[in-house]
Amino acid sequence: MKVTEEHIGMRLDAFLAQVEAYSSRSIAATFCDNQKVLVNGVFKPKSYKLADGDEVEWEPAVEDVEVEGEDIPLDVRYEDDDIIVVSKQPGLVCHPAHGHPNGTLVNALINHCGKKHLCDIQDDHRRLGIVHRLDADTSGLMVCAKNNASGRELTKAMKAHETLRCYKALVYGNIKQDSGKIDVPLLRTLNKRPKMIASNDAKAKNATTTFKVIERIESELGNFSLLECKLETGRTHQIRAHMEYIRHPVVGDPLYTGGAPKDFDAASELGLTRQFLHSYKIGFKHPRSGQYLEFKDDLPFDLQKVLKLLGAN
């Protein structure tokens, strides 16, 4: 929204409340503090005074509705009184958010476990049980917490980089080195399609991904690399953004396309309707017993089919 004469000199949080971007000034201030508001493409504090012609963009708030259980298929790989490990199907959003008020993994968890048996350490009933996330169109293994003590321990372990989270990704091009490390900070943008970009801005968050090449594939459709990617940190869209940064974007990714061959869409040629990214291995210490647990998950059929069409080994 472009600032007009009547709003010149107004505080950013007051402006957002007045134009009903948010239901109150305090909520608007929180969104500013959490870097959910841009002015002329740059994050600004809630106290910023608007100038004539400023362009303000914001991330919509999610309507605070009660989240209920829904009978959604849940592929459970392990479960006890403290944790539940699931293989999330592609297309399933992890928790209710703008544009996805229901039909999420949280709705499925509530139906399976009951609200009283899911952690709520994030103080947000829309994220019951959730301690880490997968993008909607990324499939594979996740661990969820069934009580607050387990949630805190798992969150602590992830922040301390004490958990194992490995993905398989198919990317464009043959990566020359057999393995590598991408240590590049990421900054969230608020364009029409929110995106993470590599940035040296002070507000960018450290992000580290290591990878190794499983197989280099040469086919009639071009060259590709099948990778194992390991998260050292867990930023939003981290693997997707880092692969674009090194100019080898994930095949089928509609958002991070930098480095993909121009005028060519391998995903459509291969019948792929999502990014080729699968959480295939996770490992962590059990939050109560301390025993190390590790789980593996085969590639789902749609991704196996892509590799077969490309003639991969």
* Catalytic residue list: 135
State which H helix or E strand residue 242 sits in: helix 238-245
Per residue, what are the HEC states of 58-104? ECCCCCCCCCCCCCCCCEEEEECCCEEEEEECCCCCCCCECCECCCC
* 246 DSSP assignment: T
Query: Residues 278, 158: contact at Cβ < 8 Å?
Result: no
By the 10 Å C-beta count (0-12 exposed, 13-18 middle, 19+ buried), 257 is classed as middle
Residue 49 to residue 198: CA distance in whole angstroms: 28
- The CA distances from residue 313 to 175, 216, 223, 308, in Å, are 17, 10, 14, 8
Residue 138 to residue 302: CA distance in whole angstroms: 12
State which H helix or E strand residue 268 sits in: helix 266-269
Q: Which two tokens stand for residue 71?
A: 């009978």
User: Collapsing DSSP states into helix, strand and coil, what is residue 112?
Assistant: helix
Residue 292 to residue 272: CA distance in whole angstroms: 35
Residue 19 to residue 25: CA distance in whole angstroms: 11
Count Cβ atoms below 10 Å from residue 73 Cβ, excluding itself: 7
